[in-house]
Amino acid sequence: MASAAVEFARSHHTRFLEELKTLIRIPSVSTLPEHREDVQRAAEWLAKELKRIGMEHVEVIATEGHPLVYADWLRAEGRPTCLCYGHYDVQPPDPLEEWTTPPFEPTERNGNLYARGAVDDKGQMYMHVKALEALFAAHSGKLPLNVRVILEGEEEVGGEQIAAFIREHPERLKADFALVSDTEMFAPELPTLCVGLRGMIYTEIEVRGAKTDLHSGMYGGAAPNPFVALAQIIAGLKDSDGRVLIPGFYDAVKAPGADELRAWKTLPFDEEHYRQTEVGSPELTGEPGYSVIERTWARPTLDVHGMPGGFTGAGAKTVIPAKALAKVSMRLVPEMTPQQTFALYKAYVEKIAPRGVTVEVRLIHQGDAIVVGTENPYIRTATEALREVWGKDTVFIRSGGSIPIVGDFERHLKIPTVMMGFGLPDDNLHAPNEKFHLANFYRGIESIIVFFERLGESR
């Protein structure tokens, strides 16, 4: 027997989806200055919607960067308070030519909605809003528990503004736990809670050789080449197996518990199928001696995202560039800290830099790794809600991705986070043809409704 709120949600699929499409059409790419006004527009659109459904104290909070959106409803005396978090900014859509349909024109195909932000995180964040709307509608304008909503517009660029807000105004976000829907299900139809996240540091290495660009004919053989130097540095950071070579890099790593490792072995996961369907490379690479699940959830890694500088156009330009840049990030696991890892990395890069060039290593942003215990009462209630909606036991996973906000909630608000995500492994996050499986959008809304109703019953 579905609750009245669940019935309300079921009878409004079409409208909910059209609203989501409207939100997605706003190209709120936080990293690109030319989309600044779009990010603002997305914030205002969400504030208006939160007000409409019945939330109170709705506010678009201006910051030094993109705005925050706040709302609350705190009239469920004696009930727990949930802090609903989401982000309305998205990654850049490039490379544009690889999208089947335009990134900001959401398109339905094969039961999926294709668009930048479909699942990360507009679609998932909007599940919260629609669950709250259904609960207000079914409970005579009331919610079964207290709710604060905080939405940010800088998750994809480091989340500095919300981090500052949490540090400076923890009382405004006071809650018993946080709910974040920005993770994925382990497999289709398999209800999943994420109880661990990797942290990260995102850095830039800048190498400078000559004082100006030089002709490679005239100066080749005498002038240092910053791209060659940078390649030598990067080759010194990671071996061809994927083992990071920074001295001390692995020292603080805490291995997962034996029970966690055992549970992971029971998950439906086939490395060869994963290689073929998700990665598509000739081989998988990574630290020897660990499974793919361990390597992506419980081991730190290092990746290079791009190497700007020099000549990147079509054709030929025979230049020895004056400088070269590399965008390098590392994923961290408990108990590594961003500070210590960056210090080890920086010192090592400076040490292995070849002669003839100068090197600068910059920290762009950072986030802590996190683990939430499965015995936590909110995790337990979420598990029950998922069993009711999906008819299956929840699997507990970690995620290789970083959600720095979860670390901030733990550190500054002293609350645990329930990471209840409904993305799928092939959703193409941060890549062309990002999608959200529509059945998951609808069942995600129901899951949150049931979760909140159960929390409202318990004292």
d(CA 38, CA 27): 6
User: Do 197 and 399 form a contact (C-beta atoms < 8 A)?
Assistant: yes
Residue 51 CB contacts under 8 Å (≥ 6 apart), including other chains: 58, 71
267 Cβ neighbours under 8 A, 6+ residues apart: 186, 187, 293, 395, 397
Q: What are residue 59's DSSP bridge partners? A: 70
Cα 61 to Cα 69: distance, rounded to the nearest angstrom: 6
Q: Report the nearest approach of its own copies to the CB of residue 202 (Å).
A: 5
Cβ nearer to its own copies, comparing 268 with 391: 268
CB of 153 to its own copies, least distance (A): 13
Q: Which of 282, 373 has the CB closer to its own copies?
A: 282
For residue 410, the minimal CB distance to its own copies (Å) is 18
Length of the chain in residues, anyone? 459
Phi, psi of 170 (to 5 degrees): -60, -30
The Cα–Cα gap between 429 and 92 comes to 11
For the bound state, the minimum distance from the C-beta of residue 176 to its own copies, rounded and expressed in Å, comes to 27
Between 358 and 374, CB nearer to its own copies: 358
Closest separation in Å from C-beta 214 to its own copies: 6
Residue 146 or 433 with smaller CB distance to its own copies: 433
Give min distance, CB of 27 to its own copies, in A: 15
Nearer to its own copies, 137 or 304 (CB): 304
Widest Cα–Cα separation across the chain: 80
CB nearer to its own copies: pick between 16 and 345:
345
Q: Is the dihedral of CA 255, 284, 265, 303 positive or negative?
A: positive
Single-letter amino acid, residue 72: D
- Tell me the closest approach of the beta carbon of residue 200 to its own copies, in angstroms: 7
DSSP state of 91: -
CB 403 within 8 A of CB 184: no
Residue 228 or 347: which CB sits closer to its own copies?
A: 228
Closest CA to 420 of 191, 106, 208, 151: 191
Q: How far is the CB of 263 from its own copies (least distance, A)?
A: 19
Judged by beta carbon, residue 144 or residue 199, the one nearer its own copies is: 199
Residue 163 or residue 230: which is nearer to its own copies going by CB? 230
Residue that has been written with the tokens 């009711």 in this structure: 388
DSSP state of 413: I
Query: Cβ 3 to its own copies, closest distance in Å?
Result: 34
Site of tokens 């009462």? 377
Are the CB atoms for 210 and 223 separated by under 8 Å? yes
